[in-house]
């Protein structure tokens, strides 16, 4: 597969992020969400999709190409780094846990897409489709979270229109430099896994919880199911 086609696939996968945000920005849909308190379900769905990325893609690939000590260090340092990032975000009053988690998920997956394309893997097209399918609900949930917490409309769209650029950038990195050296990719995936896991348990799940609305947590099951089905299709 050529580099140009790889970058195009990564770009299309990333464009599903603002598509999800566009759906979330619809006023009528937003009112329905608030009326029926579906916003918690959506947040849980995003958390479930991120957990699926850790369990089914990032950690398995990371430990397959790393030894115990560097893998453990990378994972733990990721958690520590995002503990400090979360503390800084709380001090500044900005809330973007789902957005940060979405990027932590998208960046290593884009690298993986680039390395798969460079090695001629037959799963490259399917991987691009699955990344896009995962990015859309994560983009929806992230936009809803940031909008609900008062982020200005202009800043929201600046962030969501810039996010897809990470796709071709990191796919190029994977295609050009990391396709024959899997250990750095694996360590990056473990670092991101530690950060995502911290964000899920520190911020996403507690903020999404509603008393007497137990069904909302099914969103986490649904998000994880999306990742599970995608993993089974790829393999």
pLDDT tens digit sequence for 110-167: 888 888 888 787 778 888 888 888 788 788 878 877 877 666 778 889 999 999 999 9
In this predicted structure, the answer to whether residue 33 has a pLDDT above a threshold of 70 is no
Please give the tally of structural domains in the chain: 1
Rounded alpha-carbon distances, angstroms, from residue 69 to 81, 128, 179: 18, 31, 23
- pLDDT at position 16 is 92
Give the structural domain span for 60: 3-234
CA distance 169 to 56: 23
> Residue 17's pLDDT is what?
93
pTM here? Answer: 0.71
What is the average pLDDT across 13-37?
78
What does the pLDDT read at residue 212? 47
If we measure between CA atoms, which residue out of 31, 40, 230, 16 comes closest to residue 141? Answer: 40
User: How many C-beta neighbours within 10 Å does residue 57 have?
Assistant: 24
Of the two residues 6 and 135, the one the predictor is more confident about is 6
Whether the per-residue pLDDT at 232 is higher than 80: the answer is no
Q: Is residue 44 within 8 Å of 215, Cβ to Cβ?
A: no
Q: What is the pLDDT of residue 205?
A: 61
- DSSP labels for 11-67? HHHHHHHHHHHHHHT-HHHHHHHHHHTTHHHHHHHHHHHHHHHIIIIIHHHHHHTS-
- How high is the mean pLDDT of the chain? 80
Band of residue 92 on the pLDDT scale cut at 50, 70, 90: low
In this predicted structure, what is the pLDDT of residue 220?
66
């Amino acid at each position: 597969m050529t580099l140009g086609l790889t970058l195009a696939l990564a770009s299309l996968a990333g464009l599903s992020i603002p598509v999800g945000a566009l759906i979330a920005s619809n006023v009528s849909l937003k009112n329905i969400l608030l009326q029926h308190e579906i916003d918690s379900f959506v947040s849980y769905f995003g958390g479930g999709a991120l957990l699926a990325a850790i369990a089914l893609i990032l950690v398995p690939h990371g430990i397959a190409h790393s030894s115990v000590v560097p893998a453990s260090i990378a994972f733990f340092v990721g958690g520590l780094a995002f503990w400090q990032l979360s503390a800084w975000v709380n001090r500044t009053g900005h809330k973007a846990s789902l957005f940060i988690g979405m990027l932590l998920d998208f960046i290593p997956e884009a690298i993986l897409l680039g390395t798969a394309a460079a090695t001629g893997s037959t799963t490259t097209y399917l991987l691009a489709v699955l990344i896009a399918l995962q990015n859309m609900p994560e983009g929806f949930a992230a936009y809803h979270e940031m909008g609900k917490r008062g982020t200005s409309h202009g800043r929201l769209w600046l962030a969501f229109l810039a996010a897809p650029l990470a796709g071709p950038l990191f796919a190029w990195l994977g295609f050009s430099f990391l396709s024959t050296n899997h250990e750095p990719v694996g360590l990056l995936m473990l670092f991101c896994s530690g950060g995502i896991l911290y964000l899920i348990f520190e911020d996403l799940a507690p903020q999404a919880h509603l008393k007497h609305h137990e069904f909302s947590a099914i969103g986490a099951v649904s998000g994880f199911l999306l990742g599970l089905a995608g993993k089974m299709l790829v393999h």
